[in-house]
Structure 1
Amino acid sequence: MSIPFSRALNARLALVAPALHRASARLWRPDGDLTGRYRRYLWAMHAVTTASVPLLERAASACSRWDDGWAPSLAAYFAGHAEEERGHDAWLLADLVAAGEPTGEPRPLPPPLVVELAGAQYYRIEHRHPATLLGYLAVLEGHAPSPVLAGVLAARTGLPEAAFRTLREHADLDADHIAEVERQLDRLPLTADQRTEVAVSALHTAGILARLFDQLAADPGGHR
């Protein structure tokens, strides 16, 4: 019996997970300016989330260019997930306001790593295959915030509970989301080449995310 693709992909991601976990631990360490790091994190996640719905919609549309018999069902999944993600960027802006951060114009430029994160997916969707977006989703949905993180950060920063809605919601929602991503990975009759491209997309995403967390973990002066 062949190993389900989701399990094989998770085995590959396990090799890079320690770097992601270390970067996350540095980001949320209790010393230094944790409040400032959390605000920078919110702005970075706002930039990531702003790209999420357009990426899913682009992938859904791109499925129509392929004659794979399963492409329409993948398009339906992407379109449905876009609706589930719609409006989450507004949650992050509300969190920022509650955290005492002005959200009017001009807003901070998105970190170049966020542009690389989303831009790589646009390239893969347009020039490779929209199924590669499943690798990106497997990492983002599979590394949801811990259910206790919002409470820990609220206690350590003194920020109000209203500043942590997105963390709380995603700790709950992403468990269902990653289960659906894995169902898609296991039910689609992807070719060996397509599976490789999905895996490369996932590993690339995990690497960029670890670098982004490391960057956010640095003090403004560059000190960890």
Structure 2
Amino acid sequence: MRVTSSAAAGLRLELSLVQPVLWGAAAGMWRSDSGLSDRYRRYLRTMHQVIRASVPLMERAAQRCEALPGDPVAVPLARYLRAHAEEERGHDDWLLADAAVTGMPPGELTRPGPPAHVAALVGAQYYWIEHGHPVALLGYIAVLEGNAPAPGLADRLAHETGLPRTAFDTVRLHAGLDGGHSGDLDRLLDELPLDDAQRTAVSVSALYTVAALAELFDRIAEAPAAPHSPSGEPR
């Protein structure tokens, strides 16, 4: 039995219990050391693989809503998803532009075949959209937009890596945009006539997303071993 009538407040309470895991993984990824530039490039590559799926996910969830006649959640949810998809459209291109400024080779971010941990993060949402209720996607959105980059992170990264400030435009923009998006999502969660099963679907999706995103950050943070010459000296 839920102790609050607010779906948004209930979700935020549940997330507060697990978010330290995500914050710790992010701190490891952004730690100040000589590998920060390489980790940032890995971040751009990985997040492009994630973000390029955002609009297709929302569009598919909206289509599923529109195939649920008589569902009181479906109509307002589809309206939100269609509008939010337009707000998010092109954000993957921001990451491509940032990567180009860092000197990453053209096409490196758009190569096919994302790694399994990226597919696991995003792919679970497709499963719940197709075989559960598309409202589950709100848990995923809540985590991604509720953990926007901290204000000032972009400037710190530019200072510590020596890369141009324009290499961090996506980090800077999301630090400002996602707070407002989180407020919109909270209002939607409280306005939707969610039943217990739908609230649970949102919660399960959100908690899973925290765990999968923390693993993704941990993998970015794991610097590859430096190559060595046959004599044992670093190349």
Supply the distance in 2 between the matched residues of 1:104 and 1:125 (Cα, whole angstroms).
30
* 2:183 is the alignment partner of 1:186: no
Deviation of 1:91 (Å):
0.4
3-state SS in 2 of match to 1:107: coil
Where do 5+ consecutive residues of structure 2 fail to align? 227-235
How far is the alpha carbon of 1:65 from its aligned partner? 2.2
Please say if 1:72 is aligned against 2:75: yes
**1:43, 1:108 within 8 Å by CA — same for their partners in 2?**
no
Task: Give the letter aligned to residue 65 of structure 2.
Answer: C
1:151 and 2:155 are equivalent in the alignment:
yes
Q: Which residue of 2 aligns with 1:14?
A: 16
Match for residue 169 of structure 1? 173
In the TM superposition, what whole-angstrom CA distance separates every residue of 1:50-87 from its partner, at most 9, and x where no partner exists? 10000000011000222212311110110010000000
2:102 aligned residue? 99
SS in 1 for 2:52: helix
Other-structure match for 2:233:
none
Counterpart Cα distance in 2 of 1:7 and 1:221: 43
Q: Which of these residues, 204, 212, 223, is aligned with residue 208 of structure 2?
A: 204
Q: After TM superposition, give the deviation of residue 216 of structure 1 in Å.
A: 0.4
Pair 1:119-2:126 in alignment: no
1:27 maps to amino acid:
M
Partner of 1:57: 59
- Conserved in 2, the CA contact under 8 Å of 1:125 and 1:131? yes
| Among candidates 214, 220, 229, match of residue 216 of structure 1 | 220
Count of aligned pairs: 222
TM-score (norm: length of structure 1): 0.95
Partners of 2:23 and 2:73 in 1: CA distance:
35
Q: 1:87 to 1:34 in 2, by over 3 A?
A: same
Distance in 1 between the 2:144 and 2:176 partners?
Answer: 14
**More helix as a share of residues:** 1
Question: TM-score normalized by structure 2?
Answer: 0.91
| Partners of 1:118 and 1:25 in 2: CA distance | 22
Shift in Å at residue 109 of structure 1?
4.3
Q: Which amino acid aligns with 2:201?
A: E
Give the CA RMSD over aligned residues: 1.5
> What is the aligned partner in structure 1 of residue 37 from structure 2?
35
Percentage of identical aligned residues: 55
Structure 1 residue 131 displacement after superposition:
0.4
- Deviation digits for residues 24-66 of structure 1, max 9, x if unmatched? 0100001131000000000111001110000000011000222
Task: Point out 4+ residue stretches in structure 1 off by more than 3 angstroms.
Answer: none
